[in-house]
Amino acid sequence: MAVRQQALEDNKSAAGTPLLDVRDLRVYYNTVSGVSRAVDGVDLSVRRGEILGIAGESGSGKSTLTTALLRLTKPPGFIAGGSIIFHSRDGELVDLMKVSEAQMRSYRWRNLSYLPQGSMNSLNPVMRISDQFEDVIRAHSDRSTQEIRDIVPELLRQVGLEPHVAKMYPHELSGGMKQRVIIAMAVALNSDLVVADEPTTALDVHIQRVVIQTLGALRDNFGMTVILVTHDMAVHAELADRVAVMYAGSIVEVGDVRQIFKDPKHPYTKGLIGSIPRIGGERRRLSGIQGNTPSPTNWPSGCRFHPRCPYVMDVCPREVPRLLPIRDGQARQKPLVACHLYTEVQAESGGRDGGQ
């Protein structure tokens, strides 16, 4: 347990240092109607100890992005380009796109763990929970069976589950319990990063709350880093430190959670925030966004939001705006926005440094 405590301290002291740098990541699907560019040029930086929310509507490429982060993209999907630089705890830089499959396997779960979208079916139906813990712990450490049996109840307790859950089978657990079992697995190996894909979808509000609290505790108690992917803006408001807004396969805005909600910069983010109903205050019509999401087989030219944008300018259909930091009086971090409205007027030099 002492080793574990030490690891937790290390996590906390490393907070704020870079963990993951995603550069120009492109994930395409081969479809009958051509190549679908679901994720097309994503730039993203994740720092240790933060909860980074990724927001966006259905079809914006959120889930494709999360599976690509762990190199779990399945055919017909393929990673068309880009790099994912992982900063290991001892300062080593690894490009996850370039390492061998065997090396990638050793990074999975030990460094990068994954809460899948369909957590309901993510546990092996014919194995006891404790055996599934044993599988993953054994794959990444040399602990004995007895040691593993001893720590599993403790891990379960940390996510608010009874120790006897270890002896149960997945079909004997509720959806929220399964979700927490998986979170406990991430805690078991003290993963640097947990990528949670729609962790609250298909759960009732009470269990959503429990899962949100458990995820929050991952960061607060264990100093873990969480990438939280969901279309549910309320979850972002509750948990995230920073929010990255995805539109049409790329990131259009990254900023502090307060800034995103109070003072969104990108016209798409403005529309997104404007469409959230609020409790209290004066009654107003929800604004929403005109038009529909474009097709990933045929993105609009230039800025992909221009056909729906109320502020569209001449330059928009011609040039792709870059994700650049802009001056912002109140925010602690300079927000990053990919919009010609800001590149024309306010953008500072320096380019795509991912928000440092």
Partner 1 sequence: MAEIVSQGPPVSQPSEPRLVSAYRAFTVNHPLVAYAARRFGIYLFTLWGSITITFFFFRLIPGNPIDAYIQNLQTAQQNYSVHASQATVQYYKQVFGLNGNLFEQYYHYMYQLFVQHNLGPSLLNYPTPSQFVIARALPWTIGLLGTATVIMWVLGVVLGALIGWKRDKAVSEFWTYVTIALSHIPYYFVALILVFLLSYRLNLLPSSAAYDPGYSIGLSMGFIKSVLQHAILPAISIIIIGVASWMVGTRMLLVPMLGEDFLTFAEAKGLKPRHILTRYAMRNCWLPQVIGLGISLGSIFNGNIIVEQLFNYPGVGNLFVQAIGQLDYNTIMGIVELAIFGVLTANLILDLLMPALDPRVKYWK
Which residues are at the interface with partner 1 (CB under 8 A)?
Answer: 67, 70, 72, 74-75, 105-110, 113-114, 116, 118-128, 135-136, 139-140, 169, 171, 182, 185
Work out how close the CB of 171 gets to partner 1 at its nearest, in angstroms, rounded to a whole number: 6
**Residues sharing a CB contact under 8 Å with residue 300, sequence separation 6 or more, in sequence order:** 248, 294, 306, 307, 317
What does DSSP say about strands 336-337 and 250-256: parallel, antiparallel, or unpaired? antiparallel
Of 136 and 243, nearer to partner 1 (C-beta) is 136
- The span from the CA of 323 to the CA of 159, in Å, is 37
Work out how close the CB of 72 gets to partner 1 at its nearest, in angstroms, rounded to a whole number: 6
Work out how close the CB of 261 gets to partner 1 at its nearest, in angstroms, rounded to a whole number: 31
Q: Find out whether 83 and 272 touch, Cβ atoms under 8 Å.
A: no
Of 109 and 247, nearer to partner 1 (C-beta) is 109
Cβ neighbours, 10 Å, residue 277: 6
Query: Residue 115: what are its φ and ψ, rounded to 5°?
Result: -100, 105
- The span from the CA of 315 to the CA of 75, in Å, is 37
Work out how close the CB of 276 gets to partner 1 at its nearest, in angstroms, rounded to a whole number: 30
Of 181 and 233, nearer to partner 1 (C-beta) is 181
Please, which residues bridge with residue 246 across strands? 251
Of 185 and 210, nearer to partner 1 (C-beta) is 185
Work out how close the CB of 57 gets to partner 1 at its nearest, in angstroms, rounded to a whole number: 23
DSSP 108: B
Of 179 and 214, nearer to partner 1 (C-beta) is 179
